[in-house]
């Protein structure tokens, strides 16, 4: 590897956001390669919805980042295994990836809409305590694991679209 292609040189040329991603990879004991940094930078955008591997590959290709689809899959697997990314599934069973945020740990609850792909993150200690109680009754433990719930927006369901305004669905 030449000095011009080293991750340290890339980090020195990058801004604070890239530096944070660099640190995140090194904390996960992963070498911060250009491909990993580019993939994380893509998913780290504030308004970014979870993406599947093909969409990530296409987005990287439009940014003139050279990585094969196989490389994208390999990096996603490594990042998920090292808890840098979180994998969710859409209604068709496709894997969707998003950045594992510090607030994702502890008391966090993730809601992911199956129809729109939007995700919401919130904290609700009472909900987590009730879930922990139900799990304890069944001999299981929630611990500090985040809770992921898949939902479907009422606006996206056929029943909601066919229901006349002002009439509830039982």
d(CA 132, CA 1): 50
**Phi and psi, residue 52, nearest 5°:** -90, 170
What's the confidence (pLDDT) of residue 158?
54
**CATH T-level assignment (fold) for domain 1-100:** Arc Repressor Mutant, subunit A (1.10.10)
pLDDT tens profile 114-162: 777 676 667 778 888 899 899 999 999 887 777 778 888 776 555 544 4
Model's pTM, two decimal places? 0.58
Q: Could you tell me which CATH number the domain at 102-164 has?
A: 3.30.1490.190
Q: What is the mean pLDDT of the chain?
A: 77
pLDDT exceeds 70 at position 52 = yes
Q: How confident is the model at residue 1 (pLDDT cuts 50, 70, 90)?
A: very low
What's the confidence (pLDDT) of residue 110?
76
- DSSP-derived letter for residue 151 is E
Give the residue extent of every domain in the chain. 1-100, 102-164
E-strand spans in 22-118? 85-89, 95-99, 108-113
Mean pLDDT, residues 22-35: 92
What's the confidence (pLDDT) of residue 74?
96
């Amino acid at each position: 590897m030449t000095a011009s292609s080293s991750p340290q040189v890339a980090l020195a040329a990058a801004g604070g956001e890239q530096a944070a991603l660099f640190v995140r990879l090194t904390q996960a004991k992963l070498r911060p390669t250009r491909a990993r940094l580019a993939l994380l930078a893509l998913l780290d955008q504030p308004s970014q919805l979870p993406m599947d591997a093909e969409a990530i590959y296409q987005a990287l290709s439009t940014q003139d980042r050279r990585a094969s689809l196989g490389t994208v899959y390999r990096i996603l697997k490594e990042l998920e295994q090292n808890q840098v990314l979180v994998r969710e599934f859409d209604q068709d069973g496709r894997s969707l990836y998003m950045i594992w945020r510090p607030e994702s740990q502890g008391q966090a609850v993730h809601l992911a809409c199956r129809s729109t792909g939007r995700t919401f993150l919130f904290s609700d200690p009472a909900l987590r305590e009730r879930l922990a109680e139900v799990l304890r009754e069944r001999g299981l433990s929630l611990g500090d694991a985040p809770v992921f719930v898949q939902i479907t927006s009422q606006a996206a369901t056929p029943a909601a679209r066919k229901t006349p305004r002002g009439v509830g669905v039982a």
